[in-house]
């Protein structure tokens, strides 16, 4: 039996809102997520999400996702050699090509991460293909690197994997020496795919898992959690309550800061969007400043130039007036924002912190659990 269903546009919108918040500044574009869910509802009627405990141990699953920089669109460059876009749903084609290559019957899809595009894309593919989609994913938030997924941290290989893009390019990655190399290949391919338009999807299917493995490594409940968060924000707006406080409560987190974005600097490099944004405090935070740093997703927050919260814990930015979560792609100077934080305890192992903590990103300080920071 399904854990729950997405039945209409209100459910779909609430889910995308919550997924955007848990995407921590990345995880794909919300408008793409809305399009995925709208198509699934129109074509199938009801989107079913299954309880993790119901997954058969011997069934085969894979992870599907999009890869590439989250930088804003800055105009398209004509590349006539690419030809027309001929694949409507590359993520579906990537899964079917992976089945053909491996000879395996894939029974379900698990989202690689939590995010507006990278959860709804797999959910759309599973719904259109009639496959199982569990209530959970392989990161519990959005992350910029494939080696930061929970299967990767357990030594599960990414390959064999398949890339498909709308132009009709199909590439099978049979084997790589390690996940870091697989990540570099993947990002390089995404750069080529996105030359004409950075918003064009570069979709992958990989990380073949049995149901038994999936139940061990999945971060459970992230889809239902996202739906609860989205509903809480919508209901707060309807009831004229503070949507920021409602989001923090549903997230089981903290309001770290409220203010206005004063600056944003970014660059698209090596298939990632790197940047910083500065926020000047308002109200009780007047006279203070918060700076965030992102590699696609937000990973470091400094309060008055001192480290405050870091990955793997969640740092989420939303508009303070209506509670709309914001990706780093659309964050702009002048926006009134609030910054939330929440714990990610599933990454608090030696391997998890080495892959996702501040030192992994080149910063010379150690991770501190957010609950310790907020109680000090």
Q: pLDDT per residue over 28-73, tens digit each?
A: 999 999 999 999 999 999 999 999 999 999 999 999 999 887 778 7
Q: How confident is the model at residue 286 (pLDDT cuts 50, 70, 90)?
A: very high
In angstroms, how far is the first alpha carbon of the chain from the final one?
45
327, 29 contact by CB (below 8 A): yes
164, 89 contact by CB (below 8 A): no
pLDDT at 2 over 70: no
Q: What is the mean pLDDT of residues 335-355?
A: 97
pLDDT at 149 over 90: yes
CA angle 209, 63, 164 (to 5 degrees): 130
Spell out the domains of the chain, with CATH numbers in brackets: 2-220 (3.40.1610.10), 243-375 (2.40.390)
244, 258 contact by CB (below 8 A): yes
3-state secondary structure of 371: helix
- CB under 8 Å to 108, separation ≥6 — which residues? 50, 55, 59, 60, 61, 126, 131, 132, 133, 134, 211
Q: Provide the whole-model pTM.
A: 0.95
User: Would you state the pLDDT for residue 68?
Assistant: 82
Radius of gyration, CA atoms only, the chain: 20
Phi then psi for residue 218, to 5 deg, are: -70, 145
Q: How confident is the model at residue 1 (pLDDT cuts 50, 70, 90)?
A: very low
Q: How confident is the model at residue 74 (pLDDT cuts 50, 70, 90)?
A: low
Tokens linked to 305: 């130039």
Query: Which H/E stretch holds residue 5?
Result: strand 2-6
User: Would you state the pLDDT for residue 222?
Assistant: 97
Instruction: Summarize pLDDT for 93-145 with one digit per residue, the tens.
Output: 999 999 999 999 999 999 999 999 999 999 999 999 999 999 999 999 999 99
Instruction: Summarize pLDDT for 226-278 with one digit per residue, the tens.
Output: 999 999 999 999 999 999 999 999 999 999 999 999 999 999 888 899 999 99
Residue with tokens 């793409």: 32
Q: How confident is the model at residue 75 (pLDDT cuts 50, 70, 90)?
A: low
147, 355 contact by CB (below 8 A): yes
Alpha helices in the chain (DSSP H): 9-22, 30-44, 90-102, 120-129, 150-153, 179-193, 211-217, 222-238, 243-251, 350-356, 370-375
Q: What distances in angstroms separate CA 347 from CA 105, 149, 311, one per listed residue?
A: 31, 10, 9
Q: What is the mean pLDDT of residues 159-183?
A: 94
Mean pLDDT of the chain: 95
User: Would you state the pLDDT for residue 16?
Assistant: 98
Spatial distance between the Cα atoms of 238 and 234, rounded to a whole number of angstroms: 6
Spatial distance between the Cα atoms of 346 and 336, rounded to a whole number of angstroms: 32
342, 314 contact by CB (below 8 A): yes
Q: What is the mean pLDDT of residues 155-164?
A: 94
pLDDT at 78 over 70: no
Spatial distance between the Cα atoms of 268 and 275, rounded to a whole number of angstroms: 9
| Torsion 341-117-334-336 (CA) sign | negative
3-state secondary structure of 77: coil
DSSP 8-state symbol, 72 = P
Instruction: Summarize pLDDT for 202-227 with one digit per residue, the tens.
Output: 999 999 999 999 999 999 999 999 99
The pLDDT > 70 percentage for the chain reads 97
Instruction: Summarize pLDDT for 12-29 with one digit per residue, the tens.
Output: 999 999 999 999 999 999
Spatial distance between the Cα atoms of 142 and 115, rounded to a whole number of angstroms: 6
User: Would you state the pLDDT for residue 81?
Assistant: 67
Spatial distance between the Cα atoms of 312 and 300, rounded to a whole number of angstroms: 9
């Amino acid at each position: 039996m399904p854990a729950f269903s997405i039945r209409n546009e209100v459910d779909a919108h609430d889910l995308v809102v919550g997924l955007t918040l848990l995407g921590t500044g990345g995880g794909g574009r919300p408008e793409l997520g809305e399009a995925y869910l709208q198509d699934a509802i129109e074509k199938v009627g009801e989107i079913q999400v299954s309880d993790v405990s119901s997954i058969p141990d011997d069934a085969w699953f894979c992870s599907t996702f999009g890869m590439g920089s989250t930088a804003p669109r800055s105009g398209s460059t004509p590349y006539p050699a690419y030809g027309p876009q001929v694949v409507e749903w590359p993520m579906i084609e990537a899964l079917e090509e992976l089945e053909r290559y491996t000879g395996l019957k894939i029974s379900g899809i698990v989202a690689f991460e939590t995010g507006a595009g990278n959860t709804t894309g797999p959910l759309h593919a599973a719904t259109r293909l009639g496959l199982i989609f569990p209530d959970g994913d392989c990161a519990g938030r959005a992350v910029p690197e494939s080696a930061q997924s929970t299967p990767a941290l357990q030594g599960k290989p990414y390959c064999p994997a398949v890339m498909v893009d709308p132009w009709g390019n199909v590439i099978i990655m049979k084997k790589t020496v390690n996940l870091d190399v697989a990540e570099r290949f993947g990002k390089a391919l995404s750069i080529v795919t996105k030359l004409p338009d950075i918003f064009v999807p570069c979709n992958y299917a990989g990380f073949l898992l049995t149901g038994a493995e999936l139940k061990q490594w999945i971060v459970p409940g992230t889809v239902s959690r996202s739906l609860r968060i989205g509903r809480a924000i919508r209901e707060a707006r309807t009831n004229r309550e503070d949507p920021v406080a409602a989001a923090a409560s549903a997230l089981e987190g903290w309001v770290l800061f409220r203010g206005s974005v004063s600056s944003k600097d970014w660059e698209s490099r090596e298939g990632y969007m790197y940047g910083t944004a500065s926020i000047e405090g308002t109200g009780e935070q007047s006279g203070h400043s918060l700076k965030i740093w992102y590699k696609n997703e937000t990973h470091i927050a400094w309060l008055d130039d001192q480290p405050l919260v870091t990955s793997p814990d969640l740092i989420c930015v939303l508009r303070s007036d209506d509670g709309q979560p914001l990706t780093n792609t659309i964050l702009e100077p002048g926006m009134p924002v609030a910054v939330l934080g929440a714990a990610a305890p599933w990454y608090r192992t030696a391997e998890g912190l080495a892959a996702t903590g501040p030192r992994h990103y080149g910063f010379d300080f150690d991770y501190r659990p957010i609950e310790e920071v907020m109680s000090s």
